[in-house]
Amino acid sequence: MALNYDLSEDQQILRDSVRKFAEGEIKPMAQELDEKESFSVELTRKMAEMGLFGMFVSPEYQGQGMDYVSYIIATEEIARVDGSHAATIAAGNSLGIGPLYYYGSEDQKRKYLPKLCSGEGLWGFGLTEPNAGSDAGSSKTSAVLDGNEWVINGSKIFITNAASPISIGVTVQAVTGKRDDGRPELSCIIVEHGTRGFEAKEMHGKLMWRSSNTGELFFDDVRVPKENLLGKQGDGFHQMLATLDGGRLSIGAMGLGCAQGAYELALRYAQERIQFGKPLCKFQANAFKLADMAMEIEAGRLMLYKAGWLKDHDRPYAREAAMGKLYCSELSRRVSNEAVQIHGGYGLMKEYDVERFYRDAKLLEIGEGTSEVQRIVISRHIGC
């Protein structure tokens, strides 16, 4: 079968429509929302109307039934304009909807997915804890079966989409016992907002993604029906790893979009800014920076789209997802850094979008597995 690097007609239409939406609807509000650290329900609803939630979910559950490459393209185009709203999309799909879609019972899917795919509500994935970040297997949040109910105690932190005005629930990873080898048995359990003992608090004072929603979750003798177990008891760690594999594609897309947006800002500024009688881009030092940016972005796009293609064709993709996430997240940092450098002093001012891109890039090297963790994943795949 011959290689084909062309997007399908549907994928190209999707890119064009999402780009137009991001430029017309998100860009005019991005700076103000970032400054006020304000989550926009209005823009989230509009993104839902665009079909940006439940992109890979079957139409049977009110999803869009698209492939993962299309999902990557859409996330990339939102991130090209604003990282916060790309984070809402990425977490909403990969971390919120994904586990319910892939591991939920038929009743759970029919109960929650239509609301999440339509944007009526958002859903979080409760994994990270104050003392369990990269070492997610060391979670201390516990769930004990008491009759026909799970009793959950513990806390989670840095959970996207879990404390917004339209958040309706979370999938919580909790310790539900011990395995035969002595390690903790981890399971995932559904908890709806409004459940007694469950509290979600918004987190503020963030460096980046200031208009996305980030929350702390607290569970104090939270009781939910035993039917709220997601999949089988003890499958939580496997579910978490598989969820993160898919999530890495969306974080990679955010890195790619961030890099593309920062590059375009730098190129335009370098073409317009006159110093010593000529545009900045005519100086070799700047021209070479921009050439390197363009080259690395193209390499990142090829790497990430390949990972998405592998997933779409039901082939192993965990290694490529880790590579794509690692490369594109670090790419966003390198490109945004050089973009600020090209802007000079103006690049340090909030009125210039490149300043926001510079801040937003940093989280991509931390969220969904740090760069160090990605290197561990890759090294294991190559036999180290």
Residue 121, CA atoms < 13 Å, CB-side half-sphere: 18
Determine the residue type at 228. N
Does the active-site annotation cover 120? Answer: no
Report d(CA 328, CA 331) in Å as an integer. 5
Note the helical H segments in the chain.
9-21, 27-36, 41-49, 68-79, 83-90, 98-103, 106-117, 236-272, 284-312, 318-343, 353-363, 371-381
Which one of 320, 330, 338, 368 is the catalytic residue? 368
Q: Are residues 213 and 267 both part of a single domain? A: no
Average pLDDT over residues 62-88: 98
Q: Write the DSSP symbol of residue 233.
A: T
Q: Are residues 73 and 179 both part of a single domain? A: no
- The SS3 of residue 160 is strand
User: Which residue segment(s) compose the domain that 92 sits in?
Assistant: 9-121
Q: Are residues 138 and 213 both part of a single domain? A: yes
pLDDT of residue 380: 96
Give the pLDDT band (50/70/90) at residue 2.
low
Beta strands in the chain (DSSP E): 122-126, 142-146, 149-160, 167-178, 184-192, 198-202, 214-225, 229-230, 274-275, 278-279
Report d(CA 374, CA 318) in Å as an integer. 10
Average pLDDT over residues 93-97: 97
pLDDT of residue 223: 98
Report d(CA 31, CA 199) in Å as an integer. 30
Answer whether residue 4 is part of any domain: no
The predicted model scores a pTM of 0.95
Token pair recorded at residue 229:
């177990």
Q: Is the pLDDT of residue 306 over 80?
A: yes
CATH label of the domain that carries residue 14: 1.10.540.10
Answer whether residue 1 is part of any domain: no
Backbone angles phi, psi at 58, to 5 degrees: -60, 145
Q: Which residue has the higher pLDDT, 3 or 308?
A: 308
Q: Is the pLDDT of residue 18 over 90?
A: yes
pLDDT digit string (tens) for 215-270?
999 999 999 999 999 999 999 989 988 998 899 999 999 999 999 999 999 999 99
Answer whether residue 30 is part of any domain: yes
pLDDT of residue 4: 85
Contact 223, 184 (CB under 8 A): no
pLDDT of residue 329: 98
* Among the ranges given (2-16, 298-312, 326-340), the one the predictor scored with the smallest mean pLDDT: 2-16
pLDDT digit string (tens) for 180-227?
888 899 999 999 999 999 999 999 999 999 999 999 999 999 999 999
Contact 336, 358 (CB under 8 A): yes
How many domains would you assign to the chain?
3
Token pair recorded at residue 264:
């375009």
pLDDT of residue 1: 54
